[in-house]
Amino acid sequence: MRHSPAYLVVARYAALVVATVLFLLPFYLMLRNALSTDREITGVNWTIFPSSLQWGNVAEVFEDSSANFARALLNSAFIAVAQTVGTVLLSSMAGYALARIPFRYATPIFYAVLLTLMVPPAVTFVPSFIIVSRLGWVNSYQGIIVPVLFSGFTAFLFRQYFLNFPRELEEAGRIDGLGYLGVFWRIVVPNSLGFFAAISVITVISAWNQFLWPLVVGQNSSMWTVQVSLSTLMTAQTINLHQVFMAALISIVPLVLVFVFLQRYLVQGVAETGIKG
Amino acid sequence: MGATPAFWLFMGPFLAGLVLFVYLPIAWSFVLSFNRAQNTVQPREFVGLQNYIDLLQPGPFLDSLWTFTIFAAIIVPLTFVLSLLLAVLLNQITVARAFFRSAFFLPTACSYVVASLIWKLSIFNGVRFGLANQVLSLFGVENIAWLSSVNPPWYWLVLATVRLWLQLGFYIILFLAGLQRISPELYEAAYVDGAKAGWQTFRYITLPQLRTTSVAVLLLNLIAAYQAFDEFFNLLSNSSLARPPLVYLYYTAQSNQDYGHGSAGAMILAALIVLVTLGQNRIYGFGRPET
C-alpha cells in the first residue's frame, strides 16, 4: 500500500475518535446514572459525574421485590448456559452427520434443515407458543430453553466447518479402531475447539439477550429473565431511574467480561460465519 | 457401528426437535389460521380464509407491514453505508486498530432492552434532563418529546439510532473480514494501470470484491429488521405510531388470546420472508459458493 498524506491520516483518526466517543457514550450514561441519585439524574444542571458515587444502589436493586432481579439473574444464567450447551451439542452432532456420515437420505434431510433457515424464529413465535402451551410448558425452564435448542443455522455452520475438517485425522482414528462416535469425540471435537468456542460465545450472548421468547413463555415473575425484569422496571408506573440503570449495568457485566476475555473467538466467529449473537 | 445407525444417533435428536418445535408448530398454526380460536389453541370453528381477509383489510396488520417497510428503508441503507465506511477507515489505519474495533463491537454485548432503556430514559428522554434536550438547550432549542412527537416523527430517529448502535459493530467486523481477504496485488496492479487511490480504487476494486459480503450484510440486515420487536416494544409499547408485525402479533396472541388471527398473521409473514429470500436468491445468487 502507498503511504497516505499526513492530513488524510489525521482526518481518519479524527473520524474514528468521534465515532468511538458516540459508541461509548451510552455506556458512560448507564454508569453515571447507575451511581447517581434520582435527584441528580433529573437535575436541571447536568453534571458529568455524580457528586458522590451511590454504591448503595447495587443493594437496592436486589432488595426491591417487585423486580425479582436476583432471581432473574439466576434464571438468565441457568438458561444461557443450558441453551448454549444444548445448542452446541445438538447442532455439532447434526452438522457432523450431514457433513461426514454417508446415509441414503442425507440430502433430503439436509434440505429439510435448510428450509428452517428461511423462516426466522421470530416469525414462528405464535406457532411455537401453541405447541409449548399444549405441552404444558408455559412458565417452565424447559419451555424457555428446549424449543430454541434446535437451530438449523448453527447445524448448517457446523456442517460447513466439518466439510473442511482434514480427513486424514479422521482416517488415523479409524485405523486405531474408533467408530463414528469415537472419531467425533476423540479427534474431531478436540481439534475444533476454536470453532466450538466461537459458536458457544455467540450462543451465550444471544441466549442472555433474548427477550421475546422468555417474555411469552415466562409469564410468572419467578420465571422472568434479566431482560424481562429490566423491561418491567422500565415500564413500571413509578420509575426509580437510578435503580433501572443500576440493574441494566449489572445485566451487562457478564457479557462485558465475556467480551474482554473471549473477544478473539467472538470476532473470529462473526467473521467466519456472519451470524449475530 | 454402521453408517446408518450412526447417522441417526448423531442426527436423530436434532431432527426430532426440529419436527416437534419447528415443523409441527407451523403445521398447527396453518390449521388454526383457517379457524376461529379465541382463548384456546384448539381449532373451534372452521372459517376458511376469513382470518386472512380480516388481516388484509386496512387496519393494524397492514399498518404493521407499512411500519416494517419504513423501518427497513431507513435502517438497511444506513447500516450498510456506515458499517462499510467505518470498516474501510479501520482497515486503513495501522495504530490502535484493535482498540477502535473493540469500541465499535462492544455494544453488541448489550441487549435491545438495555439499549432501549438508555435511549428512552436518558438520551431521548422528552423532558429537560434528557441528554439530547440538554445539548439542544445549549442552542436555545425547546424540549422535544422524542417518542410522542408525530410531526415530525422523531421516534424514527430514536428507533434507528438504537439499532445502529447495537448492530453496526457486527457488520463492521463482517466488512473488515471481507476487506482483509482482498489481495493487495489487485491494488498494486490498479496503481500501475494509473488508477487513483481513493474513490476510483474503491469503486472498481473494493466494492466488486466485497460483493458476497455486501449481499450477506443486506440480507441479514433486512431479516433482522423484519424481526424487530424488542426496541419497539420497550420504546413505544403498543403505540399505533409504529407497530411492526411482531409487536402486532404479540398483542394479538398474548393480550387478546386470538390465536386464529395470530396464526394467520404468522403465515402471511412466513410467506413474505420466503418470497423475499427467494427473490434475493434470484437477484444476487446469495448462498451460491463464493467464486
Chain B nearest CA to A253, separation (Å): 9
Question: What count of other Cβ atoms lies within 10 Å of the Cβ of residue B22?
Answer: 24
Lowest mean pLDDT among A38-52, A97-111, B253-267: A38-52
- Torsion over CA: A96, A100, A106, A110 (sign): positive
Q: What grid cell was written down for A118? A: 428461511
Contact B265, B249 (CB under 8 A): yes
Q: Among all residues of chain B, which has the CA nearest to that of A152?
A: B18
What are the pLDDT digits (tens) for A115-160? 888 777 667 888 899 999 999 999 999 999 999 999 898 999 999 9
Strand positions, DSSP E, chain B: 35-36, 45-46
Query: pLDDT tens digits, chain B, 291 residues: what are they?
Result: 789 999 999 999 999 999 999 999 999 999 999 999 998 888 888 999 999 999 999 999 999 999 999 999 999 999 999 999 999 999 999 899 999 999 999 999 999 999 999 999 999 998 888 999 999 999 999 999 999 888 899 999 999 999 999 999 999 999 999 999 898 899 888 888 888 778 888 998 999 999 988 988 998 898 889 889 999 999 998 888 999 999 999 999 988 899 999 999 999 998 888 787 777 666 555 544 443
What are the pLDDT digits (tens) for A62-96? 988 777 899 999 999 999 999 999 999 999 999 99
What are the pLDDT digits (tens) for A252-265? 999 999 888 888 88
The reply to whether residue A19 touches residue B134, judged by beta carbons under 8 angstroms, is no
Chain A nearest CA to B151, separation (Å): 24
Which chain A residues contact residue B220 at CB under 8 A?
Answer: 274, 276
Q: What grid cell was written down for A136? A: 404444558
Please tell me the pTM assigned to this model: 0.91
What's residue B283's pLDDT? 59
Chain A nearest CA to B14, separation (Å): 6
Q: Among all residues of chain A, which has the CA nearest to that of B260?
A: A126
The separation between CA A198 and the C-alpha centre of its own chain, rounded to angstroms, equals 11
For domain A60-272, give the CATH superfamily.
MetI-like (1.10.3720.10)
- ipTM strictly over 0.90? yes
> Is the minimum CB–CB distance between A147 and chain B shorter than 8 Å?
yes
- Torsion over CA: B176, B181, B184, B189 (sign): negative
Dist CA B233 CA A232 (whole Å): 11
